[in-house]
Structure 1
């Protein structure tokens, strides 16, 4: 078995694994069948600096794949990444998931990331055991935050500290308000901020964008 960077030629095999996980498991909180263009978009997104997309291959067969990407789009989360690992049906229990995870952890450390997060469907004990064996710690359980196959699903958060030395984070990047582009910078000194306009009667509150996406949770089945 060889672990290497994913390429365009690997995407049909990646799609087969991903489609099986969507159709037959609760690892991914969707029942919408994926397509090849979606996998092309996935590869392009994970080819950017600080991200990675890898495959496990046996001969010409993709037997697993994994990726590391941002945990959240907000800049304050920029030192934290999220992993996803999937293993082809019939190839679990052979060390494929572990090999993929070890490669992702090593490359994330080399890239200078601080924490890796795994979002694991709570019923996937194989994946939870694999992550714990690699040093991940349980960081919380969100109950009934997902649904699939007609039932509620719980989501387990697991985290791994990637760097050893305790240190303060690097200085924050300037925000738009620091550059004079925000509302606070445009107000006269001492002026109070304008309160937000009240929502129309009966309107639902807007959904916050502060919560991380969990479209693709880890799926290793302990493999």
Structure 2
């Protein structure tokens, strides 16, 4: 597994992998698939200098992505990032998420980020377990803030200082 900075030509596969998660109503708060055009500006907000996005490569094929995004958009939070990791369904449950999270401290140091926030639905037990495995703790809990497929869901905020 390797990481490579994402390029605009990767955006269609990034969107495809993201859209795979929507029907489960366990991973993202989007309720219907998004398009490349809808996400172009979002993609361009990720810069190698501060809030990068990478594609996850396995045997030189893109099988996932990792991004750091601004946490709250105010200057005092500039060293805090919201992390997102999405893997193609074909590679989920095979330890690739762990390999990606092992790379996070290395990548954080390159861009001067020191705190990581992960927003995870309480029903997404595999992701909560993965982040706990790497020392993330629950920093917050927002009960019943999302409605997915006719049922409410809690948001667990996991965090870690580096």
CA distance in 1, matches of 2:101, 2:159: 13
Pairwise CA RMSD: 1.7
Per-residue Cα deviation, 1:127-154 (whole angstroms, up to 9, x for no partner) = 1111111111111211001111111010
Partner SS, residue 90 of structure 1: helix
Task: Give the structure with the larger helix fraction.
Answer: 2
CA distance in 2, matches of 1:68, 1:40: 16
1:88 aligned residue: 88
Q: Do the aligned residues in 2 keep the contact of 1:138 with 1:156 (CA within 8 Å)?
A: yes
Per-residue Cα deviation, 1:14-57 (whole angstroms, up to 9, x for no partner) = 11111111233321112132001234323211125311101112
1:13 aligned residue: 13
Query: Who wins on radius of gyration, i.e. which is larger?
Result: 1
- Give the TM-score normalised by the residue count of structure 1: 0.67
- Give the TM-score normalised by the residue count of structure 2: 0.90
Aligned length: 162
Q: Do the aligned residues in 2 keep the contact of 1:13 with 1:61 (CA within 8 Å)?
A: no
| Structure 1: gaps (5+ residues) | 163-223
Q: Taking CA–CA contacts closer than 8 Å with sequence separation of 6 or more, which of the two structures ends up with the larger relative contact order?
A: 1
Task: Give the structure with the larger strand fraction.
Answer: 2
Q: Do the aligned residues in 2 keep the contact of 1:46 with 1:68 (CA within 8 Å)?
A: yes
Alignment of 1:205-216 (within 5 A): none
* Inter-CA distance 57–21: structure 2 relative to 1 (3 Å threshold): same
Runs of 4+ in 1 over 4 A off after TM superposition: none
1:23 aligned residue: 23
